Chains A and B, each alone.
Chain A
């Protein structure tokens, strides 16, 4: 299923790019990210603990940066699995220069399997909620950095 959204980050585009290009900053803003370990150029092993109410799972998987066009476009591929099933996703971020601000257009294609498919009607809503938390965290970091 496909999900997309737009956000505004309150910092110039080159600063947003620098933050997105820093795996540790990304990891600290990704909801539930417990571990992000580089395994090669642009490849990581990740452990995520994602919980929506009682439905909580620890996902182990791989994260790969598949495209990087500074300072405007960034694409990642994620796959992970837990006892409850698997998740595969590709995401694209596009940054638009708006002077002191940066417009972010994001889209993702998410696939789930196993018992998780039972909740599939809620996955777009949940993904959007998690994406919102991710961008809020980035924005906070950007504003702290400029203060």
Chain B
């Protein structure tokens, strides 16, 4: 299979890339790792007139901590999330989730920002972004804006990015000391898109859950954060009762579509089961951390 004809541009600076996006708008498509875009091109499902390859832009290759935030530039490969111990210390949920993204070969090329901008509703990194409250930095010739993750994903493969904007950076808040995080998913084969995936975070204190985060992939048109289920975890002083209430809430509220791979009912069932498993795991990790020991 071969892609349709397109004009190829590989700017060496962010400014040049933004200039190209301003000029071509919706006719242009940004190429980073190419792990989603190349298959779409080869199947001729995508037919951009111009492909703007950002792989020559060294200025976008940074992974740094600044004032309690992990900043991930647009050219950072997913593989770096699992290889750098600092990432686990700052945003452990990223390290947990990234091993479910495709296969090592895919993660060697695929970028963090590319996965976020592609916005597949069953992908792992968008769910992580929603769970931790990441902020997405969109740059265009007319300026810079930061979009909260929950407002960034607006539909399947659809984001709040304008055609002239580049997702230049993703910012993840560093975890607090009493938090534990977990990410689990069920897919037909490891590396496939999730039938359902759950990202959970809990803050332990006084022997109970004080605060919680729950986000789901594969359970709707966009990654969803379930505040009702989070509230259920905080309200119950008994962990297992809280987990039962949160799982029931996930099953009640989520409305995943059924398809060839899994019915809607099965996906809701998975959401409930994975809620319980991730929360238990996150709880164990949170207690280990708050107890002074390191997991």
Are B45 and A122 touching (Cβ within 8 A)? no
Interface members, chain A 1-54 (any B CB < 8 Å) = 1, 3, 51-54
**Quick one: closest A residue to B159, CB to CB?**
A53
Interface presence of B221 (CB below 8 A): yes
Judge whether B122 is part of the interface by a CB distance below 8 angstroms. Answer: yes
Interface string of B248-270 (1 = CB under 8 A from A): 00000000011111000000000
Q: Closest 4 A-B residue pairs measured CB to CB?
A: A125-B221, A54-B46, A124-B257, A125-B156
Q: Which of B37, B120, B157, B260 has the most CB of A within 10 A?
A: B157
Shortest distance from the beta carbon of A39 to any chain B beta carbon, whole Å: 28
Secondary structure call for the B interface: loop
Is there contact, CB below 8 Å, between A55 and B158?
no
| A-B interface contact total, Cβ < 8 Å | 71
Q: In the assembly, what is the distance between CA of A73 and CA of B29, in Å?
A: 42
Q: How many residues of B contact A (CB 8 A)?
A: 28
The answer to whether A129 touches B156, judged by C-beta atoms less than 8 angstroms apart, is: yes
A119 to chain B: closest residue by CB: B45
Instruction: Determine if B47 and A125 form an interchain contact, defined as CB atoms under 8 angstroms apart.
Output: no
CA distance A57 to B4 in the complex (A): 13
Residues of B within 8 A of A3 (CB): 257
A-side interface residues, number (CB < 8 Å): 23
- Could you jot down 20 A-B contacts, CB within 8 Å? A52-B155, A52-B158, A53-B158, A53-B159, A54-B48, A56-B46, A57-B47, A115-B43, A120-B259, A121-B122, A122-B121, A122-B156, A122-B221, A125-B121, A125-B156, A126-B155, A126-B156, A126-B221, A129-B158, A129-B221
- In the assembled complex, the Cα of A129 lies from the Cα of B220 at a distance in Å of 12
CB distance from A129 to the nearest CB of B (A): 4
